[in-house]
Amino acid sequence: MNVLVTGGAGFIGSHTVDALLQQGHRVRILDALCKPVHLKGPPAYLPPEAELIIGDVRDKEVLGRALQGMDAVYHFAAYQDYLPDFSTFFSVNAAGTALIYELIVERKLPVRKVVVASSQAVAGEGLYRGADGQLFTPDIRPEERLARREWEIPDPAGRPAQPQPTPETVANPQNQYGLSKLSQEQIALSLGRRYHIPSVALRYSIVQGPRQSFYNAYSGACRIFCLNYYFNRPPTLYEDGQQIRDYVNIEDVVRANLLVMTDDRANDRVFNVGGGRGYTVREFADIVRQAFGKDLAAVVPGLYRYGDTRHIQSDISALQALGWTPRKTPADSVQAYRDYLYEQIDIDDIMEYAERKMRELNVVRKTQA
Protein backbone atom coordinates (compact mmCIF):
# COMPACT_ATOMS: atom_id res chain seq x y z
CA MET A 1 0.00 0.00 0.00
CA ASN A 2 0.91 3.66 -0.30
CA VAL A 3 0.41 5.08 3.18
CA LEU A 4 0.35 8.71 4.28
CA VAL A 5 1.44 9.24 7.90
CA THR A 6 0.72 12.75 9.18
CA GLY A 7 2.86 13.57 12.20
CA GLY A 8 5.18 10.79 11.02
CA ALA A 9 8.25 12.57 12.39
CA GLY A 10 6.82 12.42 15.93
CA PHE A 11 6.95 9.72 18.58
CA ILE A 12 4.07 7.38 17.68
CA GLY A 13 4.16 8.32 13.98
CA SER A 14 7.83 7.49 13.46
CA HIS A 15 7.58 4.08 15.10
CA THR A 16 4.53 3.35 12.94
CA VAL A 17 6.43 4.49 9.84
CA ASP A 18 9.27 2.06 10.65
CA ALA A 19 6.81 -0.83 11.06
CA LEU A 20 5.02 0.02 7.79
CA LEU A 21 8.33 0.14 5.88
CA GLN A 22 9.29 -3.17 7.43
CA GLN A 23 6.06 -4.67 6.09
CA GLY A 24 6.95 -3.47 2.59
CA HIS A 25 4.57 -0.51 2.29
CA ARG A 26 5.55 2.78 0.66
CA VAL A 27 5.34 5.62 3.16
CA ARG A 28 4.90 9.35 2.80
CA ILE A 29 5.22 11.56 5.89
CA LEU A 30 3.52 14.93 6.23
CA ASP A 31 4.90 16.76 9.25
CA ALA A 32 5.38 20.43 10.11
CA LEU A 33 8.36 19.55 12.36
CA CYS A 34 6.79 21.72 15.05
CA LYS A 35 8.65 23.24 17.96
CA PRO A 36 9.16 22.46 20.79
CA VAL A 37 8.70 18.77 19.81
CA HIS A 38 11.49 19.13 17.24
CA LEU A 39 13.40 21.87 19.02
CA LYS A 40 16.69 20.75 17.48
CA GLY A 41 15.45 20.31 13.90
CA PRO A 42 14.48 17.17 11.96
CA PRO A 43 15.01 14.03 14.04
CA ALA A 44 17.93 11.80 13.06
CA TYR A 45 15.76 8.66 13.23
CA LEU A 46 13.69 9.56 10.12
CA PRO A 47 14.21 6.74 7.62
CA PRO A 48 15.47 7.89 4.18
CA GLU A 49 13.13 5.35 2.47
CA ALA A 50 10.12 7.40 3.60
CA GLU A 51 9.20 10.45 1.53
CA LEU A 52 9.00 13.57 3.70
CA ILE A 53 6.76 16.53 2.98
CA ILE A 54 7.31 19.34 5.45
CA GLY A 55 4.00 21.15 5.87
CA ASP A 56 0.94 21.78 7.97
CA VAL A 57 -2.14 19.52 7.93
CA ARG A 58 -4.28 22.67 7.84
CA ASP A 59 -2.79 23.74 4.50
CA LYS A 60 -5.19 22.44 1.84
CA GLU A 61 -2.68 22.65 -1.00
CA VAL A 62 0.00 20.72 0.94
CA LEU A 63 -2.42 18.14 2.38
CA GLY A 64 -3.95 17.62 -1.08
CA ARG A 65 -0.49 16.94 -2.51
CA ALA A 66 0.30 14.58 0.36
CA LEU A 67 -2.95 12.59 -0.16
CA GLN A 68 -2.38 12.15 -3.89
CA GLY A 69 -1.90 8.48 -4.77
CA MET A 70 -2.43 7.21 -1.21
CA ASP A 71 -4.37 4.05 -0.31
CA ALA A 72 -4.48 4.68 3.42
CA VAL A 73 -3.86 7.39 6.00
CA TYR A 74 -2.62 7.42 9.59
CA HIS A 75 -3.41 10.81 11.08
CA PHE A 76 -1.12 11.50 14.06
CA ALA A 77 -0.37 15.21 13.63
CA ALA A 78 -1.91 17.08 16.54
CA TYR A 79 -1.66 20.09 18.77
CA GLN A 80 -1.20 18.94 22.35
CA ASP A 81 0.05 21.52 24.81
CA TYR A 82 -1.04 23.12 28.09
CA LEU A 83 -1.27 26.60 26.61
CA PRO A 84 -4.57 28.52 26.66
CA ASP A 85 -4.74 29.11 22.88
CA PHE A 86 -7.93 27.05 22.78
CA SER A 87 -8.75 27.65 19.13
CA THR A 88 -5.45 26.12 17.95
CA PHE A 89 -6.51 22.75 19.40
CA PHE A 90 -9.62 22.81 17.24
CA SER A 91 -8.00 24.19 14.11
CA VAL A 92 -5.26 21.51 14.10
CA ASN A 93 -7.05 18.53 15.65
CA ALA A 94 -10.62 18.98 14.40
CA ALA A 95 -10.38 21.14 11.25
CA GLY A 96 -7.18 19.31 10.15
CA THR A 97 -9.09 16.01 10.32
CA ALA A 98 -12.11 17.43 8.48
CA LEU A 99 -9.77 18.63 5.72
CA ILE A 100 -8.57 15.07 5.09
CA TYR A 101 -12.18 13.96 4.44
CA GLU A 102 -12.95 17.12 2.46
CA LEU A 103 -10.07 16.40 0.08
CA ILE A 104 -10.88 12.69 -0.27
CA VAL A 105 -14.52 13.45 -1.12
CA GLU A 106 -13.88 16.54 -3.26
CA ARG A 107 -11.13 14.92 -5.35
CA LYS A 108 -12.64 11.41 -5.27
CA LEU A 109 -9.37 10.03 -3.92
CA PRO A 110 -9.24 6.22 -3.64
CA VAL A 111 -8.28 6.20 0.09
CA ARG A 112 -9.48 2.90 1.56
CA LYS A 113 -8.82 3.55 5.25
CA VAL A 114 -8.20 6.39 7.68
CA VAL A 115 -6.89 5.76 11.21
CA VAL A 116 -6.94 8.76 13.54
CA ALA A 117 -5.07 9.14 16.83
CA SER A 118 -7.46 10.02 19.60
CA SER A 119 -6.73 10.10 23.31
CA GLN A 120 -7.82 8.82 26.70
CA ALA A 121 -8.35 12.55 27.44
CA VAL A 122 -11.73 12.12 25.70
CA ALA A 123 -12.86 10.10 28.75
CA GLY A 124 -12.07 12.96 31.16
CA GLU A 125 -12.35 11.70 34.75
CA GLY A 126 -13.57 8.34 33.45
CA LEU A 127 -16.21 6.05 34.89
CA TYR A 128 -17.01 5.65 38.61
CA ARG A 129 -19.28 3.46 40.70
CA GLY A 130 -20.99 5.20 43.61
CA ALA A 131 -21.77 3.73 47.05
CA ASP A 132 -25.28 2.82 45.79
CA GLY A 133 -23.81 0.77 42.90
CA GLN A 134 -24.78 3.34 40.25
CA LEU A 135 -22.28 4.26 37.55
CA PHE A 136 -21.52 7.95 36.94
CA THR A 137 -19.04 10.13 35.02
CA PRO A 138 -17.70 12.96 37.17
CA ASP A 139 -16.52 16.34 35.94
CA ILE A 140 -13.33 18.20 36.80
CA ARG A 141 -12.61 18.45 40.55
CA PRO A 142 -13.30 21.88 42.11
CA GLU A 143 -10.17 23.77 43.05
CA GLU A 144 -11.41 24.42 46.64
CA ARG A 145 -11.40 20.66 47.28
CA LEU A 146 -7.90 20.25 45.86
CA ALA A 147 -6.58 23.14 47.98
CA ARG A 148 -7.97 21.24 51.03
CA ARG A 149 -6.24 18.03 49.87
CA GLU A 150 -9.56 16.31 49.19
CA TRP A 151 -8.25 14.36 46.25
CA GLU A 152 -10.80 11.59 45.79
CA ILE A 153 -14.03 12.01 43.82
CA PRO A 154 -17.18 11.30 45.89
CA ASP A 155 -20.41 9.97 44.39
CA PRO A 156 -23.29 12.44 43.76
CA ALA A 157 -24.50 11.88 47.36
CA GLY A 158 -21.04 12.68 48.76
CA ARG A 159 -20.16 9.09 49.66
CA PRO A 160 -16.95 7.27 48.62
CA ALA A 161 -16.88 6.13 44.97
CA GLN A 162 -14.68 3.69 43.08
CA PRO A 163 -13.01 4.38 39.71
CA GLN A 164 -13.80 1.73 37.07
CA PRO A 165 -11.97 0.69 33.88
CA THR A 166 -13.45 3.16 31.38
CA PRO A 167 -14.93 1.86 28.10
CA GLU A 168 -15.17 3.73 24.79
CA THR A 169 -18.82 4.66 25.48
CA VAL A 170 -17.64 7.28 27.98
CA ALA A 171 -16.93 10.65 26.38
CA ASN A 172 -16.68 13.45 28.93
CA PRO A 173 -13.64 15.59 28.04
CA GLN A 174 -12.63 18.22 30.57
CA ASN A 175 -10.13 20.33 28.64
CA GLN A 176 -9.53 21.84 25.21
CA TYR A 177 -7.32 18.95 24.11
CA GLY A 178 -9.87 16.26 25.06
CA LEU A 179 -12.68 18.26 23.47
CA SER A 180 -10.74 18.62 20.22
CA LYS A 181 -9.94 14.89 20.20
CA LEU A 182 -13.61 13.95 20.72
CA SER A 183 -14.46 16.26 17.86
CA GLN A 184 -11.78 14.59 15.73
CA GLU A 185 -13.25 11.14 16.47
CA GLN A 186 -16.75 12.27 15.56
CA ILE A 187 -15.60 13.92 12.34
CA ALA A 188 -13.66 10.81 11.29
CA LEU A 189 -16.35 8.26 12.13
CA SER A 190 -19.30 10.28 10.94
CA LEU A 191 -17.85 11.49 7.63
CA GLY A 192 -16.19 8.11 7.16
CA ARG A 193 -19.52 6.30 7.46
CA ARG A 194 -21.38 8.79 5.32
CA TYR A 195 -18.87 8.78 2.47
CA HIS A 196 -17.85 5.11 2.73
CA ILE A 197 -14.30 5.77 3.85
CA PRO A 198 -13.62 3.07 6.48
CA SER A 199 -12.26 4.91 9.52
CA VAL A 200 -10.98 4.00 12.97
CA ALA A 201 -10.22 6.17 16.02
CA LEU A 202 -7.71 4.90 18.56
CA ARG A 203 -7.86 6.35 22.06
CA TYR A 204 -4.35 5.93 23.38
CA SER A 205 -3.60 5.91 27.11
CA ILE A 206 -0.19 7.29 28.17
CA VAL A 207 2.17 5.96 25.50
CA GLN A 208 5.78 5.39 26.51
CA GLY A 209 9.05 4.56 24.81
CA PRO A 210 12.06 6.04 23.03
CA ARG A 211 11.77 9.06 20.71
CA GLN A 212 9.23 10.80 22.88
CA SER A 213 10.31 14.41 22.62
CA PHE A 214 12.36 15.72 25.54
CA TYR A 215 11.04 19.19 24.89
CA ASN A 216 7.26 18.99 24.86
CA ALA A 217 5.43 19.80 28.07
CA TYR A 218 2.98 16.91 27.76
CA SER A 219 5.36 13.95 27.57
CA GLY A 220 4.76 13.57 31.26
CA ALA A 221 5.88 11.44 34.12
CA CYS A 222 8.26 9.11 32.26
CA ARG A 223 10.43 11.94 30.98
CA ILE A 224 10.39 13.99 34.20
CA PHE A 225 10.98 11.06 36.58
CA CYS A 226 13.76 9.67 34.35
CA LEU A 227 15.46 13.06 34.14
CA ASN A 228 15.25 13.48 37.92
CA TYR A 229 16.81 10.11 38.65
CA TYR A 230 19.43 10.66 35.95
CA PHE A 231 20.49 13.83 37.83
CA ASN A 232 20.19 12.06 41.19
CA ARG A 233 17.25 14.12 42.40
CA PRO A 234 14.03 12.79 43.95
CA PRO A 235 11.03 13.33 41.66
CA THR A 236 8.04 15.27 42.95
CA LEU A 237 4.64 13.55 43.04
CA TYR A 238 1.54 15.72 42.88
CA GLU A 239 -1.44 15.25 45.23
CA ASP A 240 -0.74 12.16 47.36
CA GLY A 241 0.87 10.09 44.61
CA GLN A 242 -2.06 7.63 44.67
CA GLN A 243 -3.51 8.73 41.31
CA ILE A 244 -4.09 5.73 39.03
CA ARG A 245 -2.90 5.82 35.42
CA ASP A 246 -2.46 3.26 32.69
CA TYR A 247 0.65 3.20 30.59
CA VAL A 248 1.04 1.52 27.22
CA ASN A 249 4.29 0.70 25.46
CA ILE A 250 4.97 2.09 21.99
CA GLU A 251 5.51 -1.40 20.53
CA ASP A 252 2.04 -2.44 21.67
CA VAL A 253 0.63 0.79 20.21
CA VAL A 254 2.28 0.10 16.84
CA ARG A 255 0.77 -3.41 16.80
CA ALA A 256 -2.65 -1.90 17.47
CA ASN A 257 -2.13 0.64 14.67
CA LEU A 258 -1.22 -2.09 12.19
CA LEU A 259 -4.08 -4.35 13.25
CA VAL A 260 -6.87 -1.83 12.76
CA MET A 261 -5.52 -0.84 9.36
CA THR A 262 -6.15 -4.31 7.92
CA ASP A 263 -8.93 -5.74 10.10
CA ASP A 264 -12.30 -4.69 8.68
CA ARG A 265 -14.00 -5.50 11.99
CA ALA A 266 -12.38 -2.30 13.29
CA ASN A 267 -14.03 -0.08 10.68
CA ASP A 268 -16.13 2.86 11.88
CA ARG A 269 -15.29 2.23 15.53
CA VAL A 270 -13.39 3.78 18.45
CA PHE A 271 -10.97 1.64 20.47
CA ASN A 272 -9.10 2.22 23.68
CA VAL A 273 -5.42 1.30 23.41
CA GLY A 274 -4.12 1.01 26.96
CA GLY A 275 -1.87 -1.02 29.21
CA GLY A 276 -4.78 -3.01 30.70
CA ARG A 277 -3.65 -2.40 34.30
CA GLY A 278 -3.65 0.62 36.57
CA TYR A 279 -0.57 1.80 38.46
CA THR A 280 -0.44 4.57 41.03
CA VAL A 281 1.92 7.41 40.15
CA ARG A 282 3.95 6.41 43.22
CA GLU A 283 4.27 2.85 41.88
CA PHE A 284 5.37 4.23 38.53
CA ALA A 285 7.98 6.50 40.18
CA ASP A 286 9.32 3.44 41.96
CA ILE A 287 9.61 1.56 38.65
CA VAL A 288 11.73 4.47 37.36
CA ARG A 289 13.80 4.56 40.57
CA GLN A 290 14.61 0.86 40.19
CA ALA A 291 15.50 1.26 36.50
CA PHE A 292 18.08 3.89 37.48
CA GLY A 293 19.27 1.88 40.49
CA LYS A 294 18.76 4.77 42.91
CA ASP A 295 17.76 4.87 46.61
CA LEU A 296 16.03 8.25 46.54
CA ALA A 297 12.28 7.94 47.13
CA ALA A 298 9.93 10.41 45.43
CA VAL A 299 8.73 13.37 47.51
CA VAL A 300 5.10 14.43 48.09
CA PRO A 301 5.15 18.13 49.07
CA GLY A 302 1.37 18.81 48.82
CA LEU A 303 1.32 20.25 45.30
CA TYR A 304 -1.35 19.73 42.68
CA ARG A 305 -2.16 20.82 39.14
CA TYR A 306 -5.65 22.16 38.66
CA GLY A 307 -7.33 20.18 35.89
CA ASP A 308 -5.39 16.94 36.46
CA THR A 309 -7.45 13.75 36.30
CA ARG A 310 -7.61 11.89 39.61
CA HIS A 311 -7.72 8.33 38.27
CA ILE A 312 -8.06 6.97 34.75
CA GLN A 313 -7.69 3.49 33.37
CA SER A 314 -9.03 2.42 30.00
CA ASP A 315 -11.07 -0.72 29.46
CA ILE A 316 -9.28 -2.42 26.56
CA SER A 317 -11.62 -5.37 26.07
CA ALA A 318 -12.97 -4.13 22.70
CA LEU A 319 -9.55 -4.22 21.06
CA GLN A 320 -8.67 -7.44 22.88
CA ALA A 321 -11.71 -9.01 21.20
CA LEU A 322 -9.92 -8.39 17.86
CA GLY A 323 -6.91 -10.36 19.09
CA TRP A 324 -4.67 -7.53 20.35
CA THR A 325 -3.34 -7.39 23.87
CA PRO A 326 -0.50 -5.41 25.46
CA ARG A 327 2.67 -7.45 25.89
CA LYS A 328 5.03 -4.93 27.46
CA THR A 329 5.06 -3.51 30.99
CA PRO A 330 5.85 0.03 32.21
CA ALA A 331 9.20 -1.39 33.43
CA ASP A 332 9.99 -2.36 29.79
CA SER A 333 9.05 1.15 28.62
CA VAL A 334 11.16 2.85 31.28
CA GLN A 335 14.20 0.69 30.45
CA ALA A 336 13.90 1.59 26.78
CA TYR A 337 13.44 5.28 27.56
CA ARG A 338 16.39 5.26 29.96
CA ASP A 339 18.62 3.75 27.26
CA TYR A 340 17.40 6.44 24.85
CA LEU A 341 18.17 9.15 27.42
CA TYR A 342 21.71 7.85 27.89
CA GLU A 343 22.28 8.13 24.12
CA GLN A 344 21.59 11.89 24.20
CA ILE A 345 24.52 14.29 24.22
CA ASP A 346 22.70 17.43 25.40
CA ILE A 347 21.09 16.09 28.53
CA ASP A 348 21.91 19.11 30.78
CA ASP A 349 20.05 21.38 28.37
CA ILE A 350 17.08 19.03 28.45
CA MET A 351 16.69 19.21 32.25
CA GLU A 352 17.18 22.97 32.30
CA TYR A 353 14.59 23.35 29.55
CA ALA A 354 12.07 21.09 31.32
CA GLU A 355 12.33 22.99 34.62
CA ARG A 356 12.11 26.43 33.00
CA LYS A 357 9.04 25.34 31.04
CA MET A 358 7.24 24.11 34.18
CA ARG A 359 7.92 27.43 35.93
CA GLU A 360 6.77 29.43 32.91
CA LEU A 361 3.55 27.45 32.58
CA ASN A 362 2.80 28.10 36.26
CA VAL A 363 0.43 25.14 36.45
CA VAL A 364 1.61 23.73 39.78
CA ARG A 365 -0.25 24.97 42.88
CA LYS A 366 0.22 24.52 46.64
CA THR A 367 -2.36 23.12 49.07
CA GLN A 368 -3.52 25.16 52.10
CA ALA A 369 -2.32 22.69 54.74
Tell me: does residue 214 bind ligand NAD (CB under 6 A): no
- Which residue number places its CB atom closest to ligand NAD? 10
> Does 284 contact ligand NAD by CB under 6 A?
no
Closest approach of ligand NAD to the CB of residue 160, in Å: 29
Q: Which stretch binds ligand NAD (CB under 6 A): 190-198, 203-211, 256-264, 359-367?
A: 203-211
Using the rule CB under 6 A, is 204 a contact of ligand NAD?
yes
Length of the chain equals 369
**CA torsion angle 199 204 208 214 (round to 10):** 80
Per rule CB under 6 A, is residue 304 in the interface with ligand NAD?
no
Cβ proximity of 147 and 238 under 8 Å: no
Residue 319 interacts with ligand NAD (CB under 6 A)? no
Are 71 and 2 within 8 A, CB to CB?
Answer: yes
Strand 2-6 with 26-31, pairing: parallel
- Residue 123 · residue 201 · CB < 8 Å: no
Nearer to ligand NAD, 130 or 274 (CB): 274
Distance of CA 146 to the CA centre of its chain: 25
Closest approach of Cβ 23 to ligand NAD, in Å? 19
CA distance 28 to 199: 19
Q: Which of 1, 19, 21, 33 binds ligand NAD (CB under 6 A)?
A: 33
Under the binding rule (CB under 6 A), the answer on residue 37 touching ligand NAD is yes
Query: Is 6 or 228 the residue whose CB approaches ligand NAD more closely?
Result: 6
Judged by CB under 6 A, the residue of 92, 127, 171, 237 near ligand NAD is 92
Q: Is the dihedral of CA 27, 121, 127, 313 positive or negative?
A: positive
Rounded (5°) CA angle 40-43-46: 165
Interface with ligand NAD by CB under 6 A: which range of 1-9, 147-155, 306-314, 324-332?
Answer: 1-9
**Whether the Cβ atoms of residue 204 and residue 248 lie closer than 8 Å to each other:** yes
Applying CB under 6 A, the site for ligand NAD has a residue count of 29
Smallest CA-to-CA distance from 162 within 125, 126, 129, 138 is with 129
Pick out residues in 43-72 that bind ligand NAD (CB under 6 A).
56-58
Which of residues 160 and 307 has its CB atom nearest to ligand NAD in the complex? 307
Q: Position 167: which residue type? A: P
Distance CA 11, CA 160 (A): 38
Strands 279-280 and 135-136: unpaired
Q: How many CB atoms within 10 Å of residue 248?
A: 26
Q: Considering only the stretches 7-15, 19-27, 66-74, 341-349, report the one whose residues sit in contact with ligand NAD under the rule CB under 6 A.
A: 7-15
38/294 with CB nearer ligand NAD: 38
- Burial class, 58, CB count within 10 angstroms (exposed 0-12 / middle 13-18 / buried 19+): middle
Is residue 207 within the footprint of ligand NAD (CB under 6 A)? yes
Tell whether residue 7 is a contact of ligand NAD (CB under 6 A).
yes
Q: Which is nearer to ligand NAD, 136 or 340 (CB)?
A: 340
227 binds ligand NAD (CB under 6 A): no
Interacting residues with ligand NAD (CB under 6 A): 6-7, 9-13, 31-34, 37-38, 56-58, 76-80, 92, 117, 119, 204, 206-207, 213, 216
